[in-house]
Structure 1
Amino acid sequence: MRLTNNLSCAEMAVLNVQSDRVNVRVAAEAADNLKRFATYFDLESGTARSVYITQQSVWAALKSKA
């Protein structure tokens, strides 16, 4: 387990343990389309996968947390 798991993006940026590219990518994803439930991306490969807000995706997420 890495010690940075419980730190916010801002805290990791201050400690210089998170690439600035991550914050830029997350900001771009958030601004691009607010219809997404979640977006997973890999900076090294440049791939991304989004889960859009649907009743099914929200129920699946809630069930997985129960």
Structure 2
Amino acid sequence: NKSNKNVFENIFAKTHSELECLNSEISKLQDTYLTNDNSDEESDNEFIDNETYDRTSEALVISVG
């Protein structure tokens, strides 16, 4: 029972840390999006979509791996 509790606590701590990292990355993306001047709307949106995809892929690799 004690070892199961430690395993659970370790998993919880790791998951919590990864979620904090993901939230930080989402905040950065939101800041980038909100401060974008939209001078060339089509290419700006394309950049944001690629950036979102790349960051999401990284986050999924971190959470699965």
TM-score w.r.t. structure 1 length?
A: 0.30
Between structures 1 and 2, the one with greater strand share? 1
More helix, by proportion: 2
Higher relative contact order (CA 8 A, sep 6+): 2
Look at both structures and tell me which one has the larger radius of gyration over its CA atoms: 2
